[in-house]
Structure 1
Amino acid sequence: MRKILCLAAATVLLQQAVAQQFGGNPPSLKWRQINTDTVRVIFPAGMDAEGRRVADIIHHISRYNRASIGDLQQKVSIVLQNQTLQSNGYVQLGPFRSEFFLTPPPSSNDVGALNWVDQLALHEYRHVLQNSNFRKGLSKVFYYLGGELGQAAITNIAVPDWFWEGDAVVTETALSRQGRGRLPAFFDDFRALTLADKRYSYMQIRNGSYRKYIPDHYATGYLMTSYGRRSYGQNFWKDVTDDAVRYRRLFYPFSQSLKHRTGKNAAAFFAASLEDYKKQWTPASTPPADTLTPASRTVTHYKYVYALENGGLIVSKRSFKEIPAFYERDAEGHETRIVAPGIGFDDYFSYRNGRLLWTESRYDARWGWKDYSVVKIYDRKSGRMRTLRQERRCFSPDLSFDGAKVAVVAVSTAQQYALKILDAQSGAVIKSLPNPHNWYYTYPKFTEDDRFIISAVRDHEGKMALIRQSTEDGSVEELVPFGIQTIGIPAVQGDDIYFTAAFTDVNNVFAWKDGRVEQVTDRPNGVQHMAPVGGKLVFSEFTAEGYKLLRTATGGKPIDLQKDHHSAWLRPDFGEGDILGKITPGNYKVSKYSKAHRIFNFHSWLPRIDDPEYGLFLYGENVLGTLQSNVGYYYNTNEQSSGVGASLLYGAWYPYIRLGGDYRMQRYLRVNDTVQVIWNELDWYGGLSLPLNLTSGKYYRSLTLNTNFHQLTRYRAGNSKYRFTDDNIQYIDLGFSFANQRIRAVQNIFSHFAQTLQLRYYKTLNNVPAEQLYGRLDLYLPGLSANHSLVLQGAYQQKDTMQRYAFSDYFVYARGYEKPFYAHMYKLGANYHLPIAYPDWGFANLLYFMRLRGNLFYDHSVSWHFRRRQHFTYASAGGELFFDTKLGNVLPFTFGVRYSHLLNDDPYDPSRKGRFELIVPLQQLFSY
């Protein structure tokens, strides 16, 4: 059971790693709070309105809308982040807190047009109530044994990931007029599989695939939880989860509870819920359209499309094998790669008159929650890329027809939205159009005379309209009136405006012509983008193999926008109703939030795996994520020694500050091939760490500098006959690490171009001579095929020969050999990784095999034996077989087997010429 707890705790940490950011805000940011018996909302100064709104919604839900998950509640701290362009939110245990990232997403198709603060409060507070009501039975026992992460571990085993998110999506749908359960685009994934008659097993849906398109756990969860609510009652899931977290049935508690209450286990329940929705998704007839992109064995997305002057197309394309890039596609279907964009918060791009525009992300080097975007312009004629250098918070650029101006959607840290017009050469702001209602603009487009901008806008009630705004005086005309249906990206052709919208059960193309709206396409699944091309309309539609390009006529039929054209399944009634217009504002006191509040905040016991050290530690972290603390026990497998330690890491200032101490027992030093010395030591240390995020363009980059001072005292071990004359040692530990990794596609085993460099230097400062230098460089290069990788490695380590003190050993030795005796040593290695098969198969919902891959390697290592005054070579060649799997349908885990053929003698076993090993990289499970 302890192993299961460890794996589940790792699952929780891996899930949180995406959202959590230690030391993410500069110390200049001042914090305020609203503190009640239900919630503590913490927000930057000036964000009082958002803080009050969050508090109002949470108090209303806490009072009136808890019955469907349970009556228990715990006070939670919610931090509002306004310095980042990320659109997200999360709730975690360890420590128990939530963070809302306040910038709304650029697209309305995926999550809707609700006021973003409202949607975050509805969705994320459901996770708070889930965690509060899951502390029962055996899960409560694990809470007492392991703290908050103990509870998180056992409840993540008991309750599948699809329920956590599906139940939250049901909540945002039930308590508002929108929510993802009312969005046609939210069902595109499963609808595409239904239309293609693709039937995947429950385990395949749970685990995903490297070769098939599989809907995520949000979509799966909504199908199953909404079906459960409608079929078995509003409180059905409260009873199921109560059984599961109490472990009333020890094995597969969630599935067994479903079986007990419905006669269907989890797999059968998934099949029933999908069948219930499938009845709505089979069209009686599909209007004809020409398919422009052929079928492919690899999932490929053609998401955005623009017309070229010569009748060709400019498209965005990405696949499971290839990173996103822009291509020219001629009339015969031949594709020519133009350029690849960098990392961005949005994948949208625009095109006009030979120039492509998009935004890329830029990050503050030190503060993780402070980021920007820059506008990129690529000129096809000259082949030059230009960056509008002013860093700003903007999305969705569009170039004017005269090529002189760029329109962007801008978002301030105070959540004020604007449509800005920039100089296309310098990036300077020419004009900011008036926005008295603080509408959120999406995907602006210039009209052909550059006198107006067409944009879909969202208001604070979650309604959307299509507007035309003058670039001269800022006056606004509503072309499509405000309604709760989402509106997508417009395209301008003369006086006609094409746009996608969710007026029907499927996102389709509509057109505004002479004051009336027509429906142009009537497709069976969601349309994302379109381009008028030579009297026809080319559009991207979602299929089971990704977004595909189709072509149809541009004619349409009028549609009555006053009528609700949605079927009943997109108008679900979960028995609660829209609460957002009923909330009574509270009279809350806004006060200063002290950054020292519960600064240590110990919350959990957690295994620490940092090969070669393994341990168990008590962890603490404050709500703002500025102080991490831990105390615990560990064991070093290289040295076969154990120890106890404690440390503090303070991340609120520019360099991290580290303080700590370790007491290590039974350390040993090999004096020669047969004699070793054993001792205990006490090590106090303090230091500075500077982690820098240098990510830009197509590369994730990080650089970290470390320096630590150690005061170390050594004691003779109880059974050792050796007494140290050097009892007190002072030394410095200097570290440097750098990583540069190009973005990679889903199937790529490694990046096609990446480097990692590590340097570590130890040196004593008093009269005890001891020194060690370690360096390692890994170089990742493309192989012979898209998913092959060549990895070259070099490593070097040098130790002093006085042997008065030995530092920790991190060297990577030639595979197959025992650790040799040496003064200095280097290693060169070559690895060729390649995929072998994609099984997409598992058993018992315990272990699922996603990919089988191999690695052919050669290691060449040379050491200097200073006593024998001789070099020794250790070379080996062999192969590794890796299994990329998921444990329990959630946790990614890779293990493998290795055979090493020794090309030289191993001094510790000269007769052995080969070695088999099991590869279990535990560090991937427990990275913290």
Structure 2
Amino acid sequence: MAAGFAQQAGAQQFGGNPPSLRWQQINTDTVRVIFPRGMEAYGRRVADITGYVSRYHRATIGPLQRKVNIVLQNQTLQSNGYVQLGPFRSEFFMTPPPSSNDVGSLNWADQLALHEYRHVLQNSNFRKGISKVVFYLSGELGQAAATNIAVPNWFWEGDAVVTETALSNQGRGRLPAFFNGFRALQLAGRPYTYMQLRNGSYRRYMPDHYATGYLMTSYGRLQYGPQFWNGVTDDAVRYRRVFYPFSQSLKHRTGKNAAGFFRAALGSYAQHWPAATEQAADTLTPVGKHYTDYKYVYAAGNGRLIVSKSSFKAIPAFYEIGPDGKESRITAPGLGFDDYFSYRNGQLLWTESRYSPRWGWKDYSIVKIHDRASGQTRSLRHERRCFSPDLSADGRKVAVVAVTPEQAYRVEILDAQSGAVLQSLPNPENWYYTYPKFAAGDRLMISAVRDKAGRMGLISQSVETGESKVLVPFGVPTIGIASVEGNAVYFTAAFGDADNVYRVTLDDNTLQQVTRRPNGVQHMAVTDGGIIYSEFTASGHKLLKSPLQPVASQPRHSAWLRPDFGEGGDILDKVPARDYEVRKYPKAHRLFNFHSWLPRIDDPDYGLYLYGENVLGTLQTAVGASYNINENSPEVGASVLYGAWFPYLRAGVDYRMQRKLRVNDTISLEWNELDWYAGFSVPLNFTAGKYFRSVSLGANFHHLTRARTASSKYRFRDDNIQYVDAAFTFSNQRIRAVQNIYSHFAQSLVLRYNKTVNNVPGEQFTGRLDLYLPGFSANHSLVLQGAYQQRDTMLRYAFTDHFVYARGYEKPFYEHIYKAGANYHFPICYPDWGFANLLYFMRLRGNVFYDHSVAYNFRSRKDVTYASAGGELFFDTKLGNVLPFSFGVRYSRLFDTDPVDPARSNRFEVIVPLQQLFAY
């Protein structure tokens, strides 16, 4: 997300780019920057910055540097970046975030280079001691596991945020809004524990590990010197103290463990934050412990307000708040890259995301307009790369910020009916516009802009001539969303210790401060009785109202917003521009890029495989062995998956040993088989509006030879089999709130069909449908399940069994079987409690179920019923303060005879979905 950059593995999209992209490269001794044609300037800049940092600014994390591949993605509107091991690479998503409040206004490529390359240096220098041994035994993902256990996630990101702050004139460490979370908790008197902040909560707001990490890593640098964390992390990744190596190293070096160090860091910053409000204000929305966000606000006349509202229990939606405080829901937006909306003359406007069905890195936005009078919502038909729509006063035009794949920025004015581009405002400096607003009878465009150096200013631009006038001079502080009222422009800005509202006049550029609040103000609306604004609190953004009058300006304190980390300050204007050779990047470069040994847990199959993947994410390979617990059958195999074309293409070979088939209730057959296969699949993404929606279809052709084992009494007459394995999956899931256990409306359908194509009869069909419906309360879910499986009765070949049987029973003997199930899931409590930094309990939830299954025994020619009911108790936890992990216990009451243990009527089971731990 725009508020942070991903460091962990798994952020990549396999086969996400269309084959039409032409990739270029700049190859240095430090990095190989890979980018689409047309992005050469950005490739050069990233190579320049990373090379400079590698030469002069890696001592604070360690002396080692390993060459890394950095891929610049320009087809997506996501604003993010990540570094991963397995394989070792980084990707930058080049579209800047629409808002400057969360991550700042630095040149986006510069900020990504500073932040993400710090992760590269972290990974390069953490291959030491035990972590290095694990790397040699398990590969890059083994190193990732060892170092992420040893080094807490807050350090990875906090240290990178310190780097972007130390080596630039801004960075998140100099943004008042970056501290909103901790300041809000301090103002509310909520001293959460270190474990609570590490793990988060389903019911209370907790600052994330970026903010926590910056507080702790910056405090360590400022108190103990630039080399402090080098020593701590060296101890940790070597596991010099086996248990809690990071915390123990802190204790050894400072006398404080991690929890004590956090308290000291928070106290160091909190002394600079005011303990009470500095300006009187009336609170218009409820304030309590339950998190609810009122983030954007507009005046609708007669004391009415239009707001966006979300909570841990409910998805974001637009509401009207009446003069009496009563709230009425208007409509809800769909998924988007930005949560901003605008309002004028009864029309609400926002953008929603649209995706290429096949290519995961190719996406767009569409403008949505909701008319309150008619209650209808319509879409401007043209898909485009845009943000932040605003409607003109006459209702005929819509202004949007448009971004090209080559990172050219402009304001486009669209026809409000057709979506056609009427005009593009000139932008010779390639400023990045944020939140443009029509003004002066639609003759002016007001917008905060960022220049190439990362400074922000507020401008007015003539719609007729394109001429620009600077209203607020360019500077380092960030500027937020503007609102035009007559001859004045109101806007939020970080000119002091917190984001507040300011006013500038259009005729003489007189600047005044309007609010003086102790924490960040997000958005504002001018009303007859004053100014209403959203301020961040420990319970989310709340609406406050103050008189509309100037207040004394708030100074910025250097103690916590102008840190000196001993790195020499801003390097971005010092980095020399080198003359690199730009060459074509061959897509076949290191296709078989083996990087890690990793467990594969896909119940009922458990195995260990050697994985490979190329840098562009178009070829995945795996070689290894597994064991099927349903059939007690070991297996060795190898596979390759190619994802650069429209269908995925796959091929592989598996050798399965000691496979078993029950011929009847007492006799079984055992054999070994060699399976060569090739096939295709087409994964499609139709996500739109409020629904995540995907479809996948594919098929494989198998050529299989088999032979009975020495222990089998029966000889095969069919030792050569050819068959087709086809599958279809469909998933449709409505977006859900934080506390919702499952989506209030979702469907999942899986169909599998296996059929022999030579003269050996063999057939199997499996289908499963899951329906998710709302329960009696917002966080309850009713889940209905239906499953069916049929196989031929000749039993000359048995396909892999994917059926999920009635809970509590063993696998019966059958020709066809169906199961219908009902589940009712509900939360019980939210403990927000853990022990020893090992296991943290976030939620306790229950499920009551009923399964009804009927199997047709073709030998006895009878339908046999297997019905059960019971309950499940689940614990949603985090392991080691990082890894989400759910486990539970199940009680099943069997109403019919179990096929394996007829005396059993009650069964207790522990539910441990191990694929959570080892998913690749």
Provide TM-score, normalisation by structure 1.
0.98
Alpha-carbon distance in structure 2 between the residues aligned to 1:661 and 1:242: 43
Cα deviations across residues 431-489 of structure 1 (Å, max 9, x unaligned)?
00000000000001111411101100000101000000111111111100100100000
Aligned in 2, Cα 1:919/1:723: closer, same or farther, shift over 3 Å?
Answer: same
Aligned to 1:534: 528
How many pairs align? 913
Q: Quote the offset at 1:326 in angstroms.
A: 0.2
Say if 1:517 and 1:559, in contact at 8 Å, map to a contact too.
no
Cα deviations across residues 366-400 of structure 1 (Å, max 9, x unaligned)?
00000000000000101111100100000000000
Cα deviations across residues 282-305 of structure 1 (Å, max 9, x unaligned)?
246531100001124421000000
Alpha-carbon distance in structure 2 between the residues aligned to 1:851 and 1:726: 53
What are the within-5 Å matches in structure 2 for residues 280-295 of structure 1? 280-283=272-275, 286-295=278-287
Q: Quote the offset at 1:662 in angstroms.
A: 0.1
2:445 to 449, 453, 460: 453
Aligned to 2:100: 108
Aligned to 1:704: 696
Aligned to 1:321: 313
Correspondence 1:908 to 2:891: no
Aligned partner of residue 99 in structure 1, secondary structure: strand
2:363 to 366, 371, 378: 371
Q: Quote the offset at 1:46 in angstroms.
A: 1.1
Aligned to 1:6: none
2:402 to 400, 410, 415: 410
Alpha-carbon distance in structure 2 between the residues aligned to 1:556 and 1:207: 42
Q: Quote the offset at 1:722 in angstroms.
A: 1.8
Cα deviations across residues 129-150 of structure 1 (Å, max 9, x unaligned)?
0000001111111111011111
1:521 to 481, 503, 515: 515
1:50 to 29, 34, 42: 42
Q: Which has the larger displacement, 634-643 or 902-911?
A: 902-911
| Superposition CA RMSD, Å | 1.2
Correspondence 1:16 to 2:9: yes
2:620 to 605, 616, 628: 628
Alpha-carbon distance in structure 1 between the residues aligned to 2:147 and 2:915: 23
Alpha-carbon distance in structure 1 between the residues aligned to 2:353 and 2:874: 34
2:184 to 189, 192, 204: 192
Q: Quote the offset at 1:15 in angstroms.
A: 4.1
Cα deviations across residues 24-72 of structure 1 (Å, max 9, x unaligned)?
1011100000001111000001111000000000110011101100110
Alpha-carbon distance in structure 1 between the residues aligned to 2:579 and 2:287: 59
1:237 to 229, 246, 253: 229
Aligned residue identity for 1:554: L
Aligned residue identity for 2:756: T
Correspondence 1:575 to 2:566: yes
What are the within-5 Å matches in structure 2 for residues 546-585 of structure 1? 546-557=540-551, 559=553, 565-576=556-567, 577-585=569-577
Aligned to 1:922: 914
Aligned partner of residue 383 in structure 2, secondary structure: strand
Say if 1:291 and 1:549, in contact at 8 Å, map to a contact too.
yes
Alpha-carbon distance in structure 2 between the residues aligned to 1:244 and 1:407: 52
Say if 1:455 and 1:466, in contact at 8 Å, map to a contact too.
yes
Aligned to 2:134: 142
Alpha-carbon distance in structure 2 between the residues aligned to 1:883 and 1:287: 45
Alpha-carbon distance in structure 2 between the residues aligned to 1:892 and 1:704: 27
Aligned to 1:619: 611
Aligned residue identity for 1:155: T
Identity of aligned residues (%): 73
Alpha-carbon distance in structure 2 between the residues aligned to 1:404 and 1:651: 44
Q: Quote the offset at 1:361 in angstroms.
A: 0.2
Cα deviations across residues 265-296 of structure 1 (Å, max 9, x unaligned)?
00100011001111011246531100001124
Aligned in 2, Cα 1:331/1:284: closer, same or farther, shift over 3 Å?
Answer: closer
Say if 2:6 and 2:82, in contact at 8 Å, map to a contact too.
no
Aligned partner of residue 916 in structure 2, secondary structure: helix
Unaligned runs of 5+ in 2: none
Correspondence 1:62 to 2:54: yes
Cα deviations across residues 828-866 of structure 1 (Å, max 9, x unaligned)?
000000000000011111110000000010001011000
Correspondence 1:544 to 2:535: no
Q: Quote the offset at 1:557 in angstroms.
A: 3.7
Aligned residue identity for 2:545: R
Alpha-carbon distance in structure 2 between the residues aligned to 1:401 and 1:504: 33
Aligned partner of residue 804 in structure 2, secondary structure: coil
Aligned to 2:678: 686
Say if 2:780 and 2:827, in contact at 8 Å, map to a contact too.
yes
Alpha-carbon distance in structure 2 between the residues aligned to 1:286 and 1:873: 71
Aligned residue identity for 2:181: D
Q: Quote the offset at 1:13 in angstroms.
A: 12
Aligned to 1:7: none
Alpha-carbon distance in structure 2 between the residues aligned to 1:517 and 1:526: 19
Q: Quote the offset at 1:588 in angstroms.
A: 0.8
1:386 to 378, 397, 403: 378
1:719 to 706, 711, 715: 711
1:35 to 27, 30, 53: 27
Correspondence 1:211 to 2:203: yes
Alpha-carbon distance in structure 2 between the residues aligned to 1:897 and 1:184: 46
Q: Quote the offset at 1:559 in angstroms.
A: 4.9
Say if 2:317 and 2:330, in contact at 8 Å, map to a contact too.
yes
Aligned residue identity for 1:526: G
What are the within-5 Å matches in structure 2 for residues 65-80 of structure 1? 65-80=57-72
Aligned partner of residue 9 in structure 2, secondary structure: helix
2:862 to 831, 848, 870: 870
Q: Which has the larger displacement, 290-299 or 529-538?
A: 290-299
Q: Quote the offset at 1:565 in angstroms.
A: 3.2
2:656 to 640, 664, 678: 664
Aligned partner of residue 220 in structure 1, secondary structure: helix
Aligned in 2, Cα 1:400/1:746: closer, same or farther, shift over 3 Å?
Answer: same
Alpha-carbon distance in structure 2 between the residues aligned to 1:559 and 1:218: 30
Aligned to 1:399: 391
Say if 1:135 and 1:245, in contact at 8 Å, map to a contact too.
yes
Q: Which has the larger displacement, 380-389 or 158-167?
A: 380-389
Alpha-carbon distance in structure 2 between the residues aligned to 1:843 and 1:673: 49
What are the within-5 Å matches in structure 2 for residues 790-809 of structure 1? 790-809=782-801
Say if 2:401 and 2:411, in contact at 8 Å, map to a contact too.
yes
Aligned to 1:5: none
Alpha-carbon distance in structure 2 between the residues aligned to 1:47 and 1:144: 37
Alpha-carbon distance in structure 2 between the residues aligned to 1:599 and 1:522: 58
Alpha-carbon distance in structure 1 between the residues aligned to 2:292 and 2:512: 30
Correspondence 1:347 to 2:344: no
